[in-house]
Amino acid sequence: MIAFATLSLLARLAFPRRSLAALFVTMAALGAAIEVLQMIPALHRDAELADWLADCVASLTVLVLFRGMQWILSPKHDVPGDG
């Protein structure tokens, strides 16, 4: 989860004009690809739906928190009675 949280934060910083939905779908696809690759017997790993869901939760949490922080820190343009 920490890895996907970090990757999501880095993706948001690297691609600030991409929508949150596009970044989330990309991160979810990456997590799914990792789980599919873990099905290769030679890797001696197990693919688990719970791992993919944890990746998605971490990614979505970071993306939403980042967006919230952007909203909080953005200058207020349309403040009633201002100006």
Mean model confidence pLDDT for the chain: 90
Lowest mean pLDDT among 28-32, 69-73, 74-78: 74-78
Instruction: Indicate whether 77 pLDDT > 70.
Output: no
pLDDT at 76: 74
Lowest mean pLDDT among 1-5, 18-22, 24-28, 67-71: 67-71
Name the nearest CA neighbour of 62 among 27, 31, 15. Answer: 27
Q: What is the rounded distance in angstroms from the CA atom of residue 78 to the CA atom of residue 65?
A: 23
pLDDT at 78: 55
Q: Please state the pTM of the whole predicted model.
A: 0.81
Q: Environment class of residue 38 by beta-carbon count within 10 Å: exposed (0-12), middle (13-18) or buried (19+)?
A: middle
Name the nearest CA neighbour of 31 among 58, 65, 70, 64. Answer: 58
